[in-house]
Chain A
């Protein structure tokens, strides 16, 4: 997927709070490896963690239904934000007694959300753990899998306590998340790629802002067959669900430009076997950044890069959040002339806003309907809208908002 909220969270948590005079990052940017053109993807090795980059995430979203046809949307994402720069780490002496188990190399967190699409209810939660005793981390020995050593599959690729992402020997992934509380919810899903990985962007990089290195390495599995169980609500039964998911894996060290305020991101799985991903970087002045782009994926898995000029996005309707006051565009008109494609999309429910401490964004299931080359196409997918609510109400003030707009540069 996209820079997603990681960037925003870290803007807020890390970049913006700091006093500009001091924020002079103790870890020089050069210490982190930059996402530069010419990257060669290797699978399955690239599914695993890339610790030399600062930011990384594994992002699952999907539209599923139970045996009675009741529809649900889900999101489960594992984030990694490197906090200890390679320079500092080298200075301390890697793996020596200088770093105890509590010392953090990465900040690890995960988001889990369920959309109950029949009644428009939305549930979300965040999990984080230091992982001093192995409660959270990243791993996965893919060379072993590639060599046919099935036993090393089954080791999680990312996990925080009992939320985990575990690769299977057959190329599928097993994703699990569970929370208790007032509204307990859980998923336990097996997602199997139906097409090969799609490399997003051009020449191995997905550009996010003008300038070398302001990009990410980014690939997707655009259609994953999804089966498993889902439970939602107190003493609610586990229901069998099936459907289709989308997976993004993205890693980078800095991506955003100083004049960018947020983005709108979409993925679509059409009923004719094609898929599409689009993103638009919004700038302060309201314009869309020229680096915005997308990818068109044929039914046979062949993909095509879409430049900004090759698609149009138009807002049709907005929904205002009572929680944050953010005014999200939840209905759009989309056209991609090169594919003779024109359709409208809308959130399958309006309120799919994750209002989390420090960061709020809209991430939810969508449905699309329109025409492609004269024929009706329908589809489902996911939409992500960021930068509409800078922060939760208690945190909103002019200074911080101003910082939000400015501080993202170079991070």
Chain B
């Protein structure tokens, strides 16, 4: 028999697929959908990391060490000190910055100020004239002597139709500067080439002028005599530079970024796995269907001497084959999904919330393909295992005998066990939650979410069975009541149409209970999808409400103004001081607050520090209250505040000392309080401007918050400011209302991906209903034939199926809503807290939650339509042949 296996397998699969193309197709599709979503998220995450790594490679691809300040720049006179140190073979300075392009809205360029005298050993790109072939083609006089001469990436030029000699207006720090495209850049290093087309370069001398960073450089790249001694050399060189300047291998920066994005990406990854989970329910269903339909076949096989293992292998192999097709389609789908939908959204969110990244290329690595196969086929195997075993265990004699199936009774017996399992899973969820919040690790939060889903899924058999029994009993009760009423009116024997309807309902609910093992699975699948929808909706709603409350406190100025580059680039552009002064002199303006963001190095991470000046300080809400005292302490020298996520991440509490490297040396700052903040999940350290300038000697600010003398005048004043200072769109000017809207736009953007995933889960679940009912109808064709033979009309048969599907929808949404609420507690209080340290005030979007059952039931009825029609058309004669 074993030697026959391949032939048998081909016959087994091919015939089934030919006879039931729709089911086979759905089987493939359910794997494909799950894999697509999983892969799309993975590709997008991977590409974002890669493109950031590429931007590091672009400037530091060949360096052993990199001198850099998390604050952005440092004194250029450090260059000769470092470059002249023993053991340094080559060193080159770089000035880096970003510019936006008013002519190309939304576009930006990473501007590199390069020193061609020292850069060649480090160069990952070549600059040239027409061809950009290599540096030898460079017009040195123009490069060195023309302050307007700019080199842009060939790809960027092609994309925007720019030619040598074309003017290109750049906007930097609120000023417009016209440059001329004189050279093209060709990326020569493949690593640096990935996804890096937004690159411009010019001579370092003119770059300082363009970027307004005279006297400062952004980094020094170093090649050592002994590259292996990089760590030791870093320690030696560190003694030559101020405390806020770091010397490290360039790769360390991508490590920092990966750590910063880890929570965000893990969250997305976990969500994408849910789509695989929902897919597993579907696979379970289809394989079960296949097993049931071929009971006779397997009986024959077993009778002819096939072992159980062989039969089980046959079904597993079938599942795997469909799985392989599903994974292959999923790989294509995932790539497309990443490219056109999720990828750019994810890049946008990362740029908005974390750091500027542009993902131009989505790369599919062998590792990603491998993981798609692993998770895709792994989920297929897990999901198909039980049904395949069930098929193999079928007693050949029973399987070969004609007549109704007998599996239903068995599964009813099991529902109690499932329920116990469910309770255990919920207990596990509780345990995981406690562990995630106390001892960690944070990813146990996902374990908690998983167990909640699992727990509610395990209650599905009991709930379905109980639901079926309850409806049946209710119908019978009503039937008896009707009979009594009808009997009084019309005498015995005659049946009202009401009564017929009740019988129908009763039949449908009995059916539901009888095919419990399959119906329970579809209820569980749909439940999981609904629970996810509800859970995520509640979490987003609660989060949004919390942010609203926070914003009410945090955003009180009348007008907000920032260089427009900060919209595209994140906080990178500085506010021109002369305009700030002009605003303060304006008679209609009462006060101008400022804010600035700078990176500081805390425990090896680059952390945002907010430098605040003005009224803002009085509006913070503190963990543990006592705001007045904490506020006043904040203004004392060497004091800072930290945000709640920061406190959570670095385990810092009020009164702790926090050492922060400053240009004057490492200073120990006292944490005067922990405040609520929802702007940055990585955490923020806040410092007053006065305290900042004392240590950093840097007066620049990035944004201004303007308070008017007559707050009623906002629109007129905003317009006046716009006309005076914003002739070229150098600034973004928001009214209080507009900035709130903007905040929620960003909020919405952040959760858009979640929404897409949620939608896909629901689609998968609805497909599940369709699949299940189709299976049930074909399985029950004899039963339907009998019903028709004893006088049930085609419409009544159709009705039975539709009622049944509506009941599946109703049961699933009942369980799903409850499960979803439980899940929302986990998402809000466990996952958000454990990963980001956010305190979110729980509130429920009751409308959405309560409407869920309505549209789920409707969707279920729609999904049941086709199977119901096919049931209606079941030919009576052939169906009852066996009876």
Chain A residues in the interface with B (C-beta under 8 A): 10, 13-14, 17-19, 21-23, 25-27, 81-85, 88, 92, 97-105, 107, 128-130, 132-133, 135, 357-358, 395
**Given known contacts A17-B137, A22-B164, A102-B204, is B214 in contact with A97 (CB within 8 Å)?**
yes
Are A18's CB and B206's CB within 8 A? no
Closest 6 CB pairs of A and B: A83-B145, A103-B205, A102-B205, A14-B141, A104-B144, A83-B144
**Given known contacts A26-B148, A92-B147, A133-B80, is B214 in contact with A100 (CB within 8 Å)?**
yes
B503 to chain A, nearest CB (A): 89
Taking chain B's interface residues, is the majority helix, strand, or loop, or is none over half, making it mixed? mixed
- Identity of the chain A residue whose Cβ is nearest the Cβ of B117 in the assembled complex: A130
**What is the CA–CA distance of A288 and B515 in the complex, to the nearest angstrom?**
107
Q: List 25 A-B contacts (CB under 8 A).
A: A17-B128, A17-B136, A17-B139, A18-B139, A19-B129, A22-B164, A26-B148, A81-B141, A83-B140, A83-B144, A84-B144, A100-B208, A101-B205, A102-B76, A102-B93, A102-B113, A102-B115, A102-B203, A102-B208, A103-B203, A104-B203, A107-B141, A132-B76, A132-B205, A133-B77
**Given known contacts A98-B209, A100-B214, is B140 in contact with A130 (CB within 8 Å)?**
no
* Residues of chain A with a CB closer than 8 A to B139's CB: 13-14, 17-18, 23
- Identity of the chain B residue whose Cβ is nearest the Cβ of A392 in the assembled complex: B136
B133 to chain A, nearest CB (A): 10
Taking the complex as formed, is B130 at the interface, i.e. its CB lies under 8 A from any CB of chain A? yes
**What is the CA–CA distance of A185 and B327 in the complex, to the nearest angstrom?**
67
**What is the CA–CA distance of A85 and B142 in the complex, to the nearest angstrom?**
10
Q: In B284-307, which residues have CB < 8 Å from any A CB?
A: none
* Residues of chain A with a CB closer than 8 A to B146's CB: 26-27, 88
**What is the CA–CA distance of A83 and B149 in the complex, to the nearest angstrom?**
12
* Residues of chain B with a CB closer than 8 A to A107's CB: 140-141, 144
Contact partner of A100 (CB less than 8 A), chosen from B148, B165, B215, is B215
**What is the CA–CA distance of A130 and B208 in the complex, to the nearest angstrom?**
15
Are B209's CB and A99's CB within 8 A? yes
* Residues of chain B with a CB closer than 8 A to A395's CB: 136
Are A17's CB and B138's CB within 8 A? yes
Q: Mark B176-187, 1 if CB is under 8 A from A, else 0.
A: 000010100000
Taking the complex as formed, is B591 at the interface, i.e. its CB lies under 8 A from any CB of chain A? no
* Residues of chain B with a CB closer than 8 A to A21's CB: 165
**Given known contacts A21-B165, A88-B146, A133-B80, is B214 in contact with A83 (CB within 8 Å)?**
no
**What is the CA–CA distance of A99 and B203 in the complex, to the nearest angstrom?**
12
Taking the complex as formed, is B557 at the interface, i.e. its CB lies under 8 A from any CB of chain A? no
* Residues of chain A with a CB closer than 8 A to B93's CB: 102
**Given known contacts A102-B115, A102-B205, is B137 in contact with A88 (CB within 8 Å)?**
no
A178 to chain B, nearest CB (A): 17
Q: Mark B107-149, 1 if CB is under 8 A from A, else 0.
A: 0000001010110000000001110000011111110111111
How many A-B residue contacts, CB cutoff 8 Å?
A: 100
Q: Mark B182-209, 1 if CB is under 8 A from A, else 0.
A: 1000000000000000000001111011
**What is the CA–CA distance of A355 and B648 in the complex, to the nearest angstrom?**
64
- Identity of the chain B residue whose Cβ is nearest the Cβ of A411 in the assembled complex: B141
* Residues of chain B with a CB closer than 8 A to A13's CB: 138-141
Taking chain A's interface residues, is the majority helix, strand, or loop, or is none over half, making it mixed? loop
**What is the CA–CA distance of A100 and B80 in the complex, to the nearest angstrom?**
16
- Identity of the chain B residue whose Cβ is nearest the Cβ of A101 in the assembled complex: B76
Taking the complex as formed, is B234 at the interface, i.e. its CB lies under 8 A from any CB of chain A? no
Interface centre among A23, A85, A102 (most CB of B within 10 A): A102
Taking the complex as formed, is B620 at the interface, i.e. its CB lies under 8 A from any CB of chain A? no
Chain B residues in the interface with A (C-beta under 8 A): 76-77, 79-80, 93, 113, 115, 117-118, 128-130, 136-142, 144-149, 164-165, 180, 182, 203-206, 208-209, 214-215
Interface centre among A14, A17, A81 (most CB of B within 10 A): A17
Are A104's CB and B147's CB within 8 A? no
**What is the CA–CA distance of A336 and B258 in the complex, to the nearest angstrom?**
78
**What is the CA–CA distance of A27 and B144 in the complex, to the nearest angstrom?**
12
A152 to chain B, nearest CB (A): 25
* Residues of chain B with a CB closer than 8 A to A135's CB: 80
Are B136's CB and A104's CB within 8 A? no
* Residues of chain B with a CB closer than 8 A to A25's CB: 141
**What is the CA–CA distance of A172 and B129 in the complex, to the nearest angstrom?**
45
Are B145's CB and A88's CB within 8 A? yes
Are A104's CB and B145's CB within 8 A? yes
Are B136's CB and A133's CB within 8 A? no
Are A14's CB and B142's CB within 8 A? yes
* Residues of chain A with a CB closer than 8 A to B182's CB: 22
* Residues of chain A with a CB closer than 8 A to B147's CB: 88, 92, 103
- Identity of the chain A residue whose Cβ is nearest the Cβ of B143 in the assembled complex: A83
Are B145's CB and A19's CB within 8 A? no
B119 to chain A, nearest CB (A): 11
Give me 18 other A-B pairs in contact (C-beta within 8 A), A13-B141, A128-B117 excluded: A13-B138, A13-B140, A14-B141, A18-B142, A22-B164, A25-B141, A26-B149, A84-B145, A88-B145, A88-B146, A88-B147, A99-B209, A103-B203, A103-B206, A104-B205, A130-B115, A133-B79, A135-B80
A37 to chain B, nearest CB (A): 27
**What is the CA–CA distance of A84 and B149 in the complex, to the nearest angstrom?**
12
Are B209's CB and A100's CB within 8 A? yes
Are A83's CB and B136's CB within 8 A? no
B182 to chain A, nearest CB (A): 7
**Given known contacts A83-B141, A83-B145, A97-B214, is B115 in contact with A17 (CB within 8 Å)?**
no
* Residues of chain A with a CB closer than 8 A to B164's CB: 19, 22
Are A85's CB and B145's CB within 8 A? yes
* Residues of chain A with a CB closer than 8 A to B209's CB: 98-100, 103
**Given known contacts A18-B129, A22-B165, A103-B205, is B145 in contact with A27 (CB within 8 Å)?**
yes
**Given known contacts A19-B164, A133-B77, A133-B80, is B145 in contact with A99 (CB within 8 Å)?**
no
- Identity of the chain B residue whose Cβ is nearest the Cβ of A128 in the assembled complex: B117
Interface centre among B76, B128, B144, B214 (most CB of A within 10 A): B144
**What is the CA–CA distance of A11 and B878 in the complex, to the nearest angstrom?**
95
**What is the CA–CA distance of A404 and B128 in the complex, to the nearest angstrom?**
17
* Residues of chain B with a CB closer than 8 A to A133's CB: 77, 79-80
* Residues of chain A with a CB closer than 8 A to B206's CB: 103
A360 to chain B, nearest CB (A): 14
A314 to chain B, nearest CB (A): 37
Are B205's CB and A99's CB within 8 A? yes
- Identity of the chain A residue whose Cβ is nearest the Cβ of B140 in the assembled complex: A13
B742 to chain A, nearest CB (A): 35
A65 to chain B, nearest CB (A): 36
* Residues of chain A with a CB closer than 8 A to B129's CB: 17-19, 22
**What is the CA–CA distance of A14 and B149 in the complex, to the nearest angstrom?**
14
* Residues of chain B with a CB closer than 8 A to A82's CB: 145
A282 to chain B, nearest CB (A): 25
B598 to chain A, nearest CB (A): 22
Interface centre among B80, B93, B115, B209 (most CB of A within 10 A): B209
* Residues of chain A with a CB closer than 8 A to B79's CB: 132-133
Interface centre among A84, A88, A99, A100 (most CB of B within 10 A): A100
**What is the CA–CA distance of A10 and B180 in the complex, to the nearest angstrom?**
22
* Residues of chain B with a CB closer than 8 A to A358's CB: 136
- Identity of the chain A residue whose Cβ is nearest the Cβ of B141 in the assembled complex: A14
* Residues of chain A with a CB closer than 8 A to B138's CB: 13, 17
**What is the CA–CA distance of A287 and B535 in the complex, to the nearest angstrom?**
91
**What is the CA–CA distance of A395 and B133 in the complex, to the nearest angstrom?**
11
* Residues of chain A with a CB closer than 8 A to B113's CB: 102
**What is the CA–CA distance of A190 and B79 in the complex, to the nearest angstrom?**
34
B518 to chain A, nearest CB (A): 73
**What is the CA–CA distance of A372 and B254 in the complex, to the nearest angstrom?**
77
**What is the CA–CA distance of A249 and B204 in the complex, to the nearest angstrom?**
31
Interface centre among A27, A128, A132, A357 (most CB of B within 10 A): A132
- Identity of the chain B residue whose Cβ is nearest the Cβ of A82 in the assembled complex: B145
**What is the CA–CA distance of A22 and B151 in the complex, to the nearest angstrom?**
14
A320 to chain B, nearest CB (A): 24
**What is the CA–CA distance of A97 and B205 in the complex, to the nearest angstrom?**
12
**What is the CA–CA distance of A23 and B140 in the complex, to the nearest angstrom?**
12
* Residues of chain A with a CB closer than 8 A to B148's CB: 26
* Residues of chain A with a CB closer than 8 A to B128's CB: 17
* Residues of chain A with a CB closer than 8 A to B205's CB: 99-104, 132
